[in-house]
């Protein structure tokens, strides 16, 4: 069984949060390049994860502040799915991963760092992306800056 270790994320997971919802704040600010919002659709938006498991780790989240998938309406479900497929295609063109992980972390016990606002993870994966660096030196190699990837995504998405 392959495992993607990300021990550097524990600082983020255990950190104290500012009051209010991060996703609600950044989508209302309309500062997309500062917040790395790569795409806005009718019901959701896509933001680059600032604490990625892998290069190209994206979060797709509805504008509405909801915490559970059963609270999504039909339009949001369909839009989030379409946006996920569009971003998967964009990441495929830019980074050429060997595969993807997608999913929802529902609740802190499931790994959710932000529990109050649902978001879908789209994580590119490469064969061999779990190597000795994170295990031996607690170092993860992210091969491209957020800014660089953001610029490429904005051109395609």
* Active-site option among 57, 117, 119, 121: 119
1 and 11 Cβ atoms separated by less than 8 Å: no
Q: Is 27 tagged catalytic?
A: no
How many Å apart are CA 20 and CA 25, to the nearest integer?
8
Cβ-proximal residues to 83 (8 Å cutoff; 6+ apart), any chain: 39, 41, 44, 46, 60
Annotated catalytic sites, by residue?
Answer: 119
């Amino acid at each position: 069984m392959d495992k993607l270790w990300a021990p550097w994320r524990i600082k983020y997971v255990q950190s104290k949060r500012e009051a209010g919802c991060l996703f609600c704040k950044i989508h209302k600010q309309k500062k997309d390049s500062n917040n790395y919002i790569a795409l806005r659709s009718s019901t959701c938006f896509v933001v680059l994860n600032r604490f990625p498991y892998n290069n190209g780790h994206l979060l797709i989240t509805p504008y509405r502040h909801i915490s559970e998938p059963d609270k999504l309406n039909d339009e949001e479900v369909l839009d989030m799915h379409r946006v996920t497929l569009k971003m998967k295609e964009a990441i495929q063109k830019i980074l050429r991963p060997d595969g993807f992980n997608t999913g929802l972390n529902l609740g802190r016990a499931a790994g959710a760092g932000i529990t109050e606002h649902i978001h879908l993870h789209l994580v590119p994966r490469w064969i061999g992306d779990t190597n000795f660096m994170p295990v031996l030196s607690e170092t993860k190699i992210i091969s491209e800056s957020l800014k660089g990837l953001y610029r490429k995504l904005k051109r395609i998405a």
